[in-house]
Chain A
Amino acid sequence: MLEGAFDLVLASFLVALGRSALQFEDLFRAVVLYIAYGLLMALAWSRLSAPDVALAEAAIGAGVTGALFLDAARDLKRAAKERKPRVGWRFAISLLGAVVAAGISLALIGILPESAESEGLTARVGQSLSEAGVSQPVTAVIMNFRSFDTWLELLVLLVAMSSSLVFHRTFRLHTLRSSWPHSSGPEPVLAALANVLTPCALAAGAYLVFRGSSGPGGAFQGGALLGAAGVLSLLRGRGELFRLRQRFFLSTAVAGVVAFLVFSLGTGLVGRAVLEYPPGLAGTLLLALEVASAVSIGVTLSVLFAAARPSG
């Protein structure tokens, strides 16, 4: 009874917070509320027995997305004020929204109970978990059973990074330096914070990657923390990171995709199915792929953050 009450309160707050984040008069306020909403969402995920997702939502959904929006809010506030819809129109849309919500809720009430009989894939995951190389079911699904999706997801990150760089007219990372100059004025609080947090984020990220095999964590959550470290150093004014060799950066960014490609080649040549782990080596290989992926994710997220700023 008590736990139900907690969930009711949490869900209500979630809806209320989401609603207030969608008030667009003050963009900055909306973004901050959105970050809070994301963190509360992470709490909801914990209640739904999904700690991996909670970590991902907190780090990526609230963290990286929030950082992207905050950095963008400055530019976009100036350009805002396109149009404000009339009151009658707003009411109609709100009514439509209410109808949609009611409709979906009814549909859920109709579908979800009957769907409980269909167990989904929980049982199958449980059965195959011992051969998966890890003991955490979600990691097994991500890195083994549905690894094709994960590889594509890494490719999506890479393509997003490449597309963002196109808007700078080039793939050359050092052009990002002009948007991220070396720290000019004194920003002691930010500097101190970054000095402490960056190594913490790196350590925590690395820990999460390795922890993912037996508990909540994994490449994405750890990689997001690595990305956070990258973003922190950018904010600190370490734009000269981009003066590092282009090839080095690119290599780390593509490491995840390439690791999977090499793995596919290997498994294909050996006669197994593409991406099929050889028995016995599954745990080690999976971990290696996770490490490569986490590095990629960290670098890609940092470059995505950096490249969002228009050049010069």
Chain B
Amino acid sequence: MWLPAAVLIPAAGGVLGLFAQGKWRRRVGAAAASASLLTAWIVASSAWCQGPARYRMAGWGAPLGIDLRLDGLAAAFLLLTATVAAMTAVFAWSAERGPTETVPGNFWPLFQFLWAALNGLFLSGDLFNLYVQLELMTLSAIGLIGLSHQRAAIEGALNYLTAALLGSFAYLLGVGLTYSAHGVLDLGMLSHRISASGSSWLMLSLLSVGLLLKTAVFPLHFWLPEAHAKAISPVSALLSGLVVKASFYILMRLWLEVFFGSVSLQTGSLLGALGSAAILWGSVQAIRQRRLKPMIAYSTVSQLGYLFLALPAATAAGAGPGAWEWKAEAWNGAALFALSHGLAKASLFLSAGALISSVGSDEIARVHGLARNLRGFAVAFGVAGINLVGLPPSGGFLGKWLLLGALLRSGQWIWALPALAGTLMTAIYIFKVLERTFLSEEAIDPGAGETRPVPRGMEIAALVLAVISVLLGILPAELLEILRRDSPFGMGGAE
């Protein structure tokens, strides 16, 4: 199938959007978004209709040229991107008619470019091409953050850009070392040539440090809360839902496929420790917040920590089919968690956006009793919140279940403790909001009762994302089948 279309079509849509003016901007933007959605669906579904695919760009395959590869994991992330992006587009479209926090017309072209970068990143099979995709993604995100024009957003954008550049340079240094030692940039070919050694460890470390900085792992997370909280809500949804997952996706590819076997338990435990610190610290900060969007942003820091709990399990000593099972389970859990978190977090930010649009601010004190007036917001927040806490049945629950199972079976049970603590703390800050929304009888602030009606599209977008995130937990068999299609941690596996 036409894999490049997944990158070319969104980019073309963005270019067209640059020329549109006035009310055509969102019309062209919506048309472009629809085309991108359709393309993503066609490409992703070809993964299970026709099986995994490899596309040689410019007709030159690896190692001279750049290959695009589609497997189950890539297809799953393409769909995640398409779903979140589509609902964000619905939100942004409706927001133009909303009372406040309207979405400027400049949003649409940058949104398309971000989408193109994400798709390209998920499909790319070349180490340096991934660097360029990351830069494209970062610069689009920076422009999107700048849409809010507030001083805090500009500061957040500058810190984000600085951190991202630092990460990119670390990654680039890793690319240089890898190429100098192995002479190719193609991920598949590298995985055949790389064996565990000191130099492999150095290459992987450099690549990983750069990517960890971009995934905002504690203690390199400092840039995230401000950038995500101060952007306009659809942008926050894209950032927390998709952009931070992209660097984690690359990490997964590198750890599982290219540098398989180069990672020791010590490194895995170190990352598990950092992940635990992220879970705990992020949750504490989230509980302390008085406004919704910063709370959700800190929640992102916390939830991203869960992804790294897969590493102690995946690197624990063990061989044979039993060990392979729980290693695969650990990675499947992390991937599933990433997917459902992307959906749920995007939903939360869109709900927050609907709230701001209606009430004018996202102070948690003002959500008292809003379930009556802003039903859609309340339900979406509730459903997405359930996913975040990890209650069954939801994708979040399933992801955590797999992760914990893998940790216990591999003997790394100690990491289950921060996971459980994190779940508890997540419940605290989620239910704090839900309790006030649903159960509060009267409003504390006399002026808070006034809610303006919110365009239906905004609430629907948030709701759809929340529901899908829960559905991920209800269809485990199909979903895991998708993830395993020719994936490194499917039953085929690397090695």
Interface residues, chain A, with chain B CB atoms under 8 Å away:
107, 110-112, 114-115, 118-121, 124-125, 128, 144-149, 152-153, 155-156, 158-160, 162-163, 165-167, 169-171, 247, 250, 254, 257-258, 261, 264, 268, 272-277
Contact = CB atoms under 8 A, between A and B. Distances in A.
B339 interface: no
Contact of A144 (B58, B104, B154): B58
A145 B60 contact: yes
A112 B55 CA distance: 32
A30 B143 CA distance: 28
Given A160-B139, A163-B146, A170-B106, A146 B181 contact: no
A250 B198 contact: no
Interface residues of B, number: 49
B184 A159 contact: no
A124 B64 contact: yes
B492 interface: no
Interface in B1-15: 2, 4, 8, 11-12, 15
Interface string B42-59: 000000000000011111
A247 B18 CA distance: 10
A155 B116 contact: yes
A274 B64 contact: no
A159 B112 CA distance: 10
Main secondary structure of the interface of B (DSSP, over half): helix
Interface string B194-230: 0000110010000000000000000000000000000
Interface in B52-95: 55-60, 63-66
Given A118-B180, A145-B58, A261-B11, 18 more contacts: A114-B181, A120-B179, A121-B184, A124-B63, A124-B64, A152-B120, A152-B129, A155-B116, A155-B136, A162-B109, A163-B139, A163-B143, A166-B106, A169-B149, A250-B18, A254-B18, A264-B4, A274-B58
A279 B149 CA distance: 50
Contacts of A254: 15, 18
B2 A159 contact: no
B147 interface: yes
A99 B123 CA distance: 38
A162 B110 contact: yes
Nearest to A127: B64
B166 to A, nearest CB: 13
Q: Max chain B CB contacts within 10 Å: which of A155, A171, A257?
A: A155
B146 A167 contact: yes
Contact of A118 (B60, B64, B181): B181
A166 B110 contact: yes
Contact of A148 (B58, B116, B180): B58
B132 interface: yes
Contacts of B149: 169
A163 B183 CA distance: 36
A155 to B, nearest CB: 6
B64 A145 contact: yes
Interface string B253-296: 00000000000000000000000000000000000000000000
Contacts of A167: 146, 154
A233 B386 CA distance: 59
B106 A107 contact: no
A255 to B, nearest CB: 10
B171 interface: no
A156 B104 CA distance: 21
Given A159-B140, A274-B57, A111 B199 contact: yes
Contacts of A170: 106
Contacts of B139: 156, 159-160, 163
A112 B202 CA distance: 13
A166 B231 CA distance: 13
